[in-house]
Chain A
Amino acid sequence: MDFSYSEEQQMLRESVGKFVQQQYDFDSRNRIAASETGYSDENWKLFGELGWLTVPFDEADGGFGDSAVDLMVMMEEFGKAMLVEPYLASVVLAGRLLAALGSEEQKAESLHSLMAGNLQLALAWAESGSRYNLANVRLSARSDGGNFVLDGTKVNVLNGPNADKLLVTARESGGATDSEGISAFLVDREAAGVHVQAYANLDGSQAAKITFSEVEIPASARLGEAGGVLTALEQVVDHATVAVCAQAVGALDALLQKTVEYSKTRKQFGVHIGSFQALQHRMADMFMECQLARSITVMAAMQLDSDESAADKAAAVSAAKSRVGKAIRRVGQEAVQIHGGIGMTDELDVSHLFRQVTGLELLFGDADFHTGRFARLQTAE
């Protein structure tokens, strides 16, 4: 049992931390978020040069080693800085599913350009009625001669507006929530019949509702086996869920630190508001929430890197997301409350951190969903 960072992890943390401190202050971040694409392609290229885009991939695929702990180290820094570049969407979600399902040819074509920073991907999995059930897929894939025809709508496609290619889950057979019958396809965003409605999410990142109207794609666009991608999808989303937890842990630490600092400078009734015990104990509770969130995220990341069974890993992930979700609610709300009116303003970074973590709280399932999933996985044992 070892809780220390390896030398490589230490370097990764310093590398990301240095970038964030020197080139990603709050104003720069806001300028990037408000730009036309909502992210900086220059930064993205830099991430490619620095090797960050290879982190969550196997060495066999040309990656850095695909360690969940490595990823946790990075995501925590991204969370502190409220990074809007689509690392989670393009690399951790879509990239890792491509790595899991793609043929050597498909990987050679897309994965390597992704890692080099020359390609943007997005994973289109959620549908308007699916909530957090990954098996709930209604978008249909119909075989038509040598081609497939996709028909249906995806929502909350993270990085959808900027993706060159979309990984789309689609149903080839079975009922709407059957675990069998779900396939994945790689589709050009520019393909005929693909209609992207772009919007920004609470956290400032880019997302889209994407309608696929009779979109014709070649058979070679299918990733993995016909109708058999759910397990891989679940594992990829679980991995991304731990990345989300780590991102939240970084953001929650920033919220705590900013709140404590503010309470030491803001004066009312002639004294610093941090001298009031009514506020002190709430900040002590925020500290404890941050520590518990960090601990359970570390646990889940270590489990993902271990030889434990798939069910144990899934349970660990749900435990983490459930607990981090609660910490988000408590720490986020208290940070705004203790800041008072200024915490409500768009001008202050606190409100943006709050927006970010509120989005992370819902992504891939909120605390109640993951508590329930954890319970089911425990009972199944």
Chain B
Amino acid sequence: MNADFTPEDLAFRDEVREFLQNEFPAEMREKVDAGIRLSKDEIVRWQKILYEQGWAAPNWPVEFGGTGWTATQKHIFAMEMGLIGAPEPVPFGMKMVAPVLMAYGSEEQQQRFLPDILQSNVWWCQGYSEPNSGSDLASLKTSAVRDGDDYIVNGSKTWNTYGQYADWIFCLVRTDTTVKKQEGISFLLIDMKSPGVSHRPIVLMDGHVEVNEIFFDDVRVPAANLIGEENKGWTYAKVLLTHERTNIALVPRSTRRLRALRRAAASLDDGYGGSMLDDPVFSHRFAELEIELKALEYTELRTLASLSVGKSPGPESSILKVVGTELAQRIDEMFVELAAYHSLPYLPEQFDEGFQGAPLEPGIPAGQGLVYLNNRKLSIFGGSNEIQRNIICKAVLGL
């Protein structure tokens, strides 16, 4: 047992660092540092740079274009990416539909979809939740009825992140209403340009649109787009949920955020002529967050290590989701408190490129009130943290 990186790992870290320093576009880096949102085109551009380097999909098997990295190397890569603020690939293609295609898709489906995901030519979104099916996902009602070589899809999906940009959507649909709810669900890929597909943006409390509602009105979907067997979709989706759990702990992001928080606190006046970093209450709570991050990071490393010796990640990874998101939210709270009344302006457009006119002060982190509001989602999405606790109880504690 030792925490040291091998000389090979250290060389790899240097290689990754050098690559990111040179290749992560400077203008994107400036935006990220200033808290400006990256556009879809910019994210795609960055993904293509990673693709050229052969690093687009660290977690994919080599035969599909993955890197073949060890667990430690993947950790190093994610950490370095997070520290410099380089955006992660949009997860819906790379991390969500791709593993299902690899495990259950036909060879034809794999050849048709995977290369475009790897090269970021096609954007995917996820069609799981429905207005009346949230945590009880298996109660979903969007129906797919077989009609010759097609399915006819009717219903609606919601909380579709980046649905407004998506070319394709992977959906859980009901194909049998006469059996137990989990046994009548299929996994279907739908072209967003199909006639009968429409979407409605949902404005969240931070004033921003990142999620949508998507409607299916007699949409014809070729049966060739069904993954695996009909009515087995729930099994496929569940298998996916226990895999691809890398980086759900948000360790690189929280590391970067905490460093920024420390810098900001050091430069901020406490109102009495001292620095906020020297404020005893602030510094104590800041230290608590740093310590929590260490505990989380080593929990993630232990999980990764057990993965690399072939053990299944299993439901223990629910802990990474719960602790990781709750820590990220606590960091957001600290930012809000640090910026004090500078957190109050409600200016959703301040994260857009070229925004002028915010009453911003140098050195004071901007828009933290909005970041705080937006990130309340973290403990709700991806299986709410209460659902994660249910998973721990059932699968780990046997309750």
Contacts and interface: CB of A to CB of B under 8 A. Distances in A.
Interface of B: 1-6, 9, 72, 277, 283-284, 286-288, 290-292, 294-299, 301-302, 305-306, 309, 316, 319, 322-323, 386, 388-390, 392-393, 396-399
A298 B298 contact: yes
A307 B3 CA distance: 10
Contacts of B72: 1
Contact of A299 (B3, B287, B389): B3
Interface in A240-272: 260, 263-264
Contacts of A307: 4
B290 A295 contact: no
24 contacts: A2-B1, A2-B2, A263-B399, A274-B399, A280-B389, A280-B397, A281-B389, A283-B397, A284-B388, A287-B392, A287-B396, A288-B323, A294-B302, A295-B302, A296-B291, A296-B295, A298-B298, A298-B302, A302-B3, A322-B288, A322-B291, A371-B288, A374-B287, A379-B277
Contacts, number: 129
A294 B249 CA distance: 17
B-side interface mostly: helix
Nearest to B299: A295
A284 B397 contact: yes
Interface in A335-381: 368, 371-372, 374-375, 378-379
B392 A1 contact: no
A284 B298 contact: no
Interface residues of A, number: 46
A9 interface: yes
A71 to B, nearest CB: 12
Interface string A293-329: 1111011011101110000000010010011000000
A303 B290 CA distance: 16
A298 B298 CA distance: 8
Given A1-B72, A3-B1, A295-B298, A280 B291 contact: no
Nearest to B266: A379
A333 interface: no
A112 B392 CA distance: 48
Listed from nearest, the 10 A-B pairs whose CB atoms lie closest are A295-B298, A375-B287, A284-B389, A302-B3, A3-B305, A292-B295, A296-B295, A295-B299, A284-B392, A280-B393
Nearest to A327: B295
A69 interface: yes
Contacts of A298: 1, 298, 302
Contacts of A285: 389
Given A280-B389, A295-B298, A4 B309 contact: yes
A374 B291 CA distance: 8
Contact of B319 (A288, A316, A372): A288
Interface of A: 1-6, 9, 69, 260, 263-264, 274-275, 277, 280-281, 283-285, 287-288, 291-296, 298-299, 301-303, 305-307, 316, 319, 322-323, 368, 371-372, 374-375, 378-379
B287 A372 contact: yes
B305 A323 contact: no
A1 B322 contact: no
A82 B386 CA distance: 33
A154 to B, nearest CB: 30
B397 A371 contact: no
Contacts of B309: 4
Contact of B4 (A1, A9, A277): A1
Given A299-B294, A302-B3, A2 B299 contact: no
A137 to B, nearest CB: 26
B3 A264 contact: no
Contact of B3 (A1, A293, A322): A1
A361 to B, nearest CB: 15
A260 B3 contact: no
A323 B291 CA distance: 7
